[in-house]
């Protein structure tokens, strides 16, 4: 992996809350939710057709789209291209070319790699070339998290302080739990009330455990106000997003707006520019926000009689948002707060000396990575990246590491004190130990929302094979299942792949990818990766092409077994 310590300066210059104009374009699997949706007949959000915009990063690689035959296993890394083994029982080269022409992907980049679990290559095309992976990047982040943190790891949110009778001075310490909801905050407040506390003289919310940087500077500006691009911090509630349900009414009437959090509704003005359309109208929903004016504008068209849609917009002040929710929970428990504030203190500085008075914990990491991969939750992935960084930084501090400024030369060895950057280095170290070629990918963030991520199909298959071990069954369980669950629930239905493909989806404008495991003929398990980028075709078209390629890969089996 090429590590970029010079990004430190970009992180330090980035403001923590920004207002951006949002492009009216649908997104595919850019995260758990999108605030601009074009609903298809399947009602499957991961198959939405995007309004393609120009690609931010121009590929420098020139593709040799004619696969070269091989005999046996692939050549060492960096030597040529490999294609389908002549030992395979069927030839799929012609079929793949037909798929490319059928979906007009001739000018798009296409990379394919498929191997058995013991390393026999069944098919390869541009398998060592870099592609923009989108959310498939989450495979790197979740795999490293399982290895370093363990499947039983939990995130703890604590309250420390001193109590004098019914009065207290408290510190609320967040550690990045992305799963917290208002009901859990009510439980936290109840624990305090059960200790006899009815008055809090001072409540300090510490929000710096994961570092002070909340937004990756390489994310595209229009993503930052959307629910799937919510800022990352240490005190998170409701995934740092505002949820608004939109319900069709009579023909020509505005959509009905229902806030998930009615108290939050009072803090914003709403401009409802929606309409209930005819039964053949194209459906879409789009939200924009203006934090300075406290204004949310809603655009959209849903058909008469169709189902409601829930759209999400990122909160501009996540730590303050958490504090507001917690104060409501305290009030509900009969606890009055005199003063409250938000401060920053990093995980490296945390040395607790006061008693812990109350706490809540997340579900185990096994459930967190399931949410991360199955529904492609960007916020969860970015939290995991920073947790990996904190763990690595804590280890370095314990060993006496002195954090000097990182050099500006790309690739120079350096451990940044910024958790997100340290997390990238931790992932690189872990994946290298697992056998993933560090030159076969460049990782910029934890979620794949950055177009600066570049991953080869070979790197993904190397990772998938490394994680195919009994102790990593949790990793496989976290993946979407074809035709059944997660972002693959609407794909492969009534095909031979239904229930037989476990794979992570990825998609953004111009990019689609799929990587995971296929149960092929004779119950053979294959690891595979398919990546398409630099494409001007709609996302739904790219997904259909990938699905047809998967069905072809499923027919492959090696014939050279002893």
Residue in the block written with tokens 């959209």: 300
Most confident of 25-34, 61-70, 489-498: 489-498
Average pLDDT (505-523) is: 94
What pLDDT, on the 0 to 100 scale, is given for residue 70?
32
Question: Is pLDDT of 173 > 60?
Answer: yes
* Residue 320, Ramachandran bin (φ over 0: left; ψ between -120 and 50: alpha; else beta): alpha
What pLDDT, on the 0 to 100 scale, is given for residue 214?
65
| Residue 62 per-residue DSSP state | -
CA-to-CA dists, residue 6 to 111, 316, 397, angstroms: 30, 27, 22
Residue 448 and residue 138 in contact, taking contact as beta carbons nearer than 8 Å: yes
What pLDDT, on the 0 to 100 scale, is given for residue 39?
41
Question: Is pLDDT of 500 > 80?
Answer: yes
Q: Tell me what percent of the residues of the chain surpass a pLDDT of 70.
A: 79
Nearest to 28 by CA among 60, 52, 7: 52
- 3-state SS assignment for residue 109: strand
CATH number at residue 233: 3.50.80.20
What pLDDT, on the 0 to 100 scale, is given for residue 434?
96
- Are residues 218 and 106 part of one domain? no
What pLDDT, on the 0 to 100 scale, is given for residue 559?
59
Average pLDDT (239-250) is: 96
Question: Is pLDDT of 25 > 60?
Answer: no
What pLDDT, on the 0 to 100 scale, is given for residue 67?
45
- Are residues 380 and 329 part of one domain? no
CA distance 539 to 47: 7
Q: Where are the alpha helices (DSSP H) in 304-434?
A: 318-332, 365-374, 378-398, 419-434
- Are residues 285 and 167 part of one domain? yes
Axis crossing angle, helix 457-466 with helix 138-149, rounded to the nearest 10: 30
Nearest to 556 by CA among 31, 75, 93, 45: 93
Average pLDDT (228-253) is: 95
Q: Residue 114: which domain range?
A: 42-52+64-150+368-553
At 376, give phi and psi (nearest 5°): 60, 60
What pLDDT, on the 0 to 100 scale, is given for residue 394?
87
Question: Is pLDDT of 346 > 90?
Answer: no
User: Does 7 or 147 have the greater pLDDT score?
Assistant: 147
What pLDDT, on the 0 to 100 scale, is given for residue 561?
42
Task: Quickly state the pLDDT bin for 2 (edges 50, 70, 90).
Answer: very low
- Are residues 254 and 201 part of one domain? yes
Nearest to 365 by CA among 376, 380, 348: 380
Q: Tell me what percent of the residues of the chain surpass a pLDDT of 90.
A: 68
What pLDDT, on the 0 to 100 scale, is given for residue 12?
37
Residue 560 and residue 121 in contact, taking contact as beta carbons nearer than 8 Å: no
Question: Is pLDDT of 147 > 70?
Answer: yes
- 3-state SS assignment for residue 335: coil
Domain boundary among the residues 343, 362, 381 is at 362
87 belongs to a structural domain = yes
Domain boundary among the residues 318, 333, 362 is at 362
Domain boundary among the residues 328, 362, 396 is at 362
Question: Is pLDDT of 376 > 60?
Answer: yes
What pLDDT, on the 0 to 100 scale, is given for residue 318?
94
558 belongs to a structural domain = no
- Are residues 203 and 128 part of one domain? no
Determine the distance from the C-alpha atom of residue 1 to the mean position of all C-alpha atoms in its chain, rounded to a whole number: 20
14 belongs to a structural domain = no
Q: DSSP letter string over 502-560?
A: EEEEEEETTEEEEEEEEE-GGG-EEEEEEEEES--S-HHHHHHHHHHHHHHHTT---S-
| The two three-digit tokens of residue 338, written as one number | 């005199």
- Are residues 284 and 160 part of one domain? yes
Question: Is pLDDT of 83 > 70?
Answer: no
First-to-last alpha carbon distance for the chain, in angstroms, is 37
- Are residues 342 and 198 part of one domain? yes
- Are residues 399 and 503 part of one domain? yes
Question: Is pLDDT of 9 > 90?
Answer: no
Question: Is pLDDT of 19 > 80?
Answer: no
Q: What b-and-e string marks burial along 200-227, b requiring 16 or more CB atoms within 10 Å of the CB?
A: beebbbbbbbbbbbbbbbbbbebbbbbb
- Are residues 349 and 450 part of one domain? no
562 belongs to a structural domain = no
What pLDDT, on the 0 to 100 scale, is given for residue 373?
98
Pairing of strands 167-173, 156-164: antiparallel
Determine the distance from the C-alpha atom of residue 462 to the mean position of all C-alpha atoms in its chain, rounded to a whole number: 21
Q: List, for residues 272-298, the tens digit of each pLDDT value.
A: 999 999 999 999 998 989 988 999 999
Average pLDDT score over the chain: 83
Question: Is pLDDT of 7 > 60?
Answer: no
Question: Is pLDDT of 411 > 50?
Answer: no
What pLDDT, on the 0 to 100 scale, is given for residue 471?
83
For residue 10, how many other CB atoms are within 10 A of its CB?
Answer: 13
- Are residues 105 and 161 part of one domain? no
Residue in the block written with tokens 């849903």: 302
| The two three-digit tokens of residue 453, written as one number | 């991520």
Nearest to 314 by CA among 290, 347, 334: 290
73-87, 364-378, 433-447, 499-513: least confident range: 73-87
- Are residues 264 and 119 part of one domain? no
Question: Is pLDDT of 194 > 90?
Answer: yes
17 belongs to a structural domain = no
CA distance 562 to 550: 26
Q: List, for residues 96-141, the tens digit of each pLDDT value.
A: 999 999 999 999 999 999 999 999 999 999 999 999 999 999 999 9
Q: In what order do the strands lie in the sheet with 256-259?
A: 256-259, 241-247, 309-314
What pLDDT, on the 0 to 100 scale, is given for residue 143?
98
CA distance 28 to 146: 26
CATH number at residue 497: 3.40.710.10
What pLDDT, on the 0 to 100 scale, is given for residue 541?
97
Number of domains in the chain: 2
Q: List, for residues 483-495, the tens digit of each pLDDT value.
A: 999 999 999 999 9
Average pLDDT (145-170) is: 96
340 belongs to a structural domain = yes
Task: Quickly state the pLDDT bin for 80 (edges 50, 70, 90).
Answer: very low
Query: Judging by beta carbons within 10 Å of its beta carbon (0-12, 13-18, 19+), is residue 80 exposed, middle or buried?
Result: exposed
- Are residues 169 and 134 part of one domain? no
CA distance 453 to 451: 5
13 belongs to a structural domain = no
Average pLDDT (325-353) is: 86
18 belongs to a structural domain = no
Question: Is pLDDT of 304 > 80?
Answer: yes
CA distance 34 to 375: 12
Task: Quickly state the pLDDT bin for 29 (edges 50, 70, 90).
Answer: low
Query: Judging by beta carbons within 10 Å of its beta carbon (0-12, 13-18, 19+), is residue 506 exposed, middle or buried?
Result: buried
Residue 419 and residue 350 in contact, taking contact as beta carbons nearer than 8 Å: no
Task: Quickly state the pLDDT bin for 37 (edges 50, 70, 90).
Answer: very low
What pLDDT, on the 0 to 100 scale, is given for residue 424?
96
């Amino acid at each position: 992996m090429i590590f970029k310590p010079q990004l430190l300066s970009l992180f330090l210059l980035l403001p923590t809350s920004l207002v951006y104009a949002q492009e009216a374009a649908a997104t595919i699997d850019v995260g758990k939710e999108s605030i601009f949706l074009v609903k298809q007949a399947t009602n499957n959000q991961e198959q939405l057709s995007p309004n393609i915009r120009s690609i931010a990063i121009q590929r420098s690689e020139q593709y040799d789209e004619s696969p070269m035959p091989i005999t046996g296993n692939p050549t060492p890394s960096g030597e040529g291209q490999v294609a389908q083994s002549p030992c395979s029982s069927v030839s799929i080269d012609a079929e793949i070319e037909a798929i490319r022409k059928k979906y007009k992907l001739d000018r798009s980049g296409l990379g394919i790699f498929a191997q058995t679990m013991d390393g026999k290559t069944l098919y390869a095309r541009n398998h060592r070339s870099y592609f923009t992976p989108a959310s498939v990047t989450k495979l790197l982040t979740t795999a490293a998290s399982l290895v370093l943190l363990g499947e039983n790891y939990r995130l703890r949110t604590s309250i420390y302080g001193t109590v004098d009778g019914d009065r207290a001075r408290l510190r609320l310490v967040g550690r990045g739990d992305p799963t917290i909801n208002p009901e859990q905050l009510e439980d936290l407040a109840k624990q305090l009330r059960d200790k006899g506390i009815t008055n809090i003289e001072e409540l300090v919310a510490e929000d710096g455990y994961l570092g002070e940087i909340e937004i990756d500077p390489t994310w595209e500006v229009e993503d930052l106000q959307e629910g799937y691009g919510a800022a990352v911090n240490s005190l998170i509630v409701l995934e740092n997003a505002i949820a608004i349900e939109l319900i069709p009414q009579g023909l020509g009437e505005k959509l009905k707006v229902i806030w998930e959090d009615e108290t939050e509704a009072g803090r914003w003005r709403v401009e409802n520019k929606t309409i209930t359309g005819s039964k053949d109208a194209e459906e879409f929903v789009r939200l924009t926000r203006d934090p300075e004016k406290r204004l949310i504008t809603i655009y959209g068209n849903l058909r008469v009689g169709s189902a409601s849609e829930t759209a999400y917009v990122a909160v501009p002040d996540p730590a303050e948002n958490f504090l507001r929710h917690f104060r409501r929970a305290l009030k509900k428990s009969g606890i009055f707060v005199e003063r409250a504030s938000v401060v920053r203190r990093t995980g490296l500085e945390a040395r607790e000396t006061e008693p812990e008075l109350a706490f809540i914990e997340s579900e185990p990491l096994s459930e967190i990575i399931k949410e991360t991969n199955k529904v492609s939750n960007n916020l969860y992935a970015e939290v995991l990246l920073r947790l990996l960084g904190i763990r690595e930084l804590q280890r370095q501090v314990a060993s006496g590491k002195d954090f000097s400024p990182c050099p500006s030369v790309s690739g120079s060895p350096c451990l940044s004190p910024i958790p997100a950057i340290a997390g990238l280095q931790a992932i690189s170290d872990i994946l290298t130990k697992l056998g993933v070629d560090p030159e076969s990918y460049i990782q910029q963030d934890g979620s794949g929302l950055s177009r600066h991520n570049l991953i080869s199909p070979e790197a993904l298959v190397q990772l998938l094979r490394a994680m195919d071990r009994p102790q990593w069954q949790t990793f496989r369980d976290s993946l979407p299942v074809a035709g059944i669950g997660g972002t693959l629930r609407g794909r492969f239905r009534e095909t031979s792949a239904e229930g037989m493909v476990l794979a992570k989806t990825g998609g953004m404008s111009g990019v689609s990818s799929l990587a995971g495991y296929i149960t092929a003929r004779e119950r053979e398990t294959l690891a595979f990766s398919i990546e398409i980028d630099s494409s001007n075709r709609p996302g739904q078209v790219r997904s259909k092409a990938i699905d047809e390629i998967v069905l072809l890969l499923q027919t492959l089996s090696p014939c050279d077994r002893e």
